[in-house]
């Protein structure tokens, strides 16, 4: 009886482990020159949480209601004067889009302003007032993944 119970529990554990999606954390800082750069982050990663980006408004291309379509997010932190105070963060669902990273390379912490970011990325989709008076700004970047498209 003990053997049968052990076998059932082991089989159940292996089945659950096989069904679980692995969480591959590719979060990293991408240096651009000696003092500047940007982050490429995975939603919910330890680095994203440490930087204060708990749950940005991304959407997955595997969503059953919008198969193949998703939203990446670029996040910016500004002080009260509208100056970038932290390196930008890019939350990419798939591989980072080179057109987005090319625009992120142009931004400089402590120098770039909100109007410059709006010029590069358009009007922001989310603005969150911070306790220190600054602003956390999210820009949504739609993408399409044909491999996730369902064909009926």
Q: What is the DSSP string of 92-146?
A: -SSSPPHHHHHHHTT--TTT-BHHHHHHHH-S-SEEEE-TTS-EEEEEEEEEE-G
pLDDT band at residue 151 under the 50/70/90 scheme: very low
Q: Report which DSSP code applies to 41.
A: E
pLDDT at 143 over 60: yes
Q: What is the pLDDT of residues 3-47, one digit of tens each?
A: 666 655 565 555 544 444 555 677 889 999 888 899 998 888 889
Q: Where is 61: in which H helix or E strand?
A: none
pLDDT at 119: 92
Q: How far apart are alpha carbons 32 and 88 in whole angstroms?
A: 12
Determine the longest span between alpha carbons in the chain, in angstroms: 71
* Strand partners of residue 36: 32
* Strand partners of residue 31: 37
Average pLDDT estimate for 132-151:
72
Q: What is the pLDDT of residues 86-131, one digit of tens each?
A: 999 998 877 888 889 999 999 999 999 999 999 998 877 778 888 8
- How big is the CA angle at 57 (ends 40 and 114), to the nearest 5 degrees? 70
CB 104 within 8 A of CB 86: no
Q: What is the pLDDT of residues 35-85, one digit of tens each?
A: 889 999 888 888 988 888 777 665 554 555 555 567 788 999 999 999 999
The SS3 call for residue 16 is helix
- What residue segments make up the domains of the chain, in order of their start? 25-148
List, in order, residues 6 or more apart from 51 with CB less than 8 Å away: 39, 41, 86, 89
Structure token pair of residue 106: 């142009």
Provide the whole-model pTM: 0.72
Listed ranges 91-95, 117-121, 135-139, 145-149; the one with the highest mean pLDDT:
117-121
């Amino acid at each position: 009886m003990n053997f049968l119970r052990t076998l059932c529990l082991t089989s159940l554990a292996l089945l659950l482990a096989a069904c679980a999606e692995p969480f591959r954390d590719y979060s990293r800082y991408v240096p651009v020159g000696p003092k500047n750069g940007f982050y490429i982050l995975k939603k919910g990663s330890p680095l994203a949480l440490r930087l204060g980006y708990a749950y940005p408004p991304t959407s997955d291309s595997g969503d059953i209601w919008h198969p193949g379509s998703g939203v990446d997010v670029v996040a910016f932190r500004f002080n009260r004067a509208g100056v970038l105070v932290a390196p930008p963060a890019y939350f990419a669902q798939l591989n980072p889009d080179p057109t987005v990273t090319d625009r992120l390379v142009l931004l400089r912490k402590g120098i770039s302003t909100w109007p410059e970011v709006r010029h590069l990325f358009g009007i922001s989709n989310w603005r969150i007032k911070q306790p220190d008076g600054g602003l956390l700004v999210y820009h949504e970047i739609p993408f399409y993944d044909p491999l996730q498209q369902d064909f009926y």
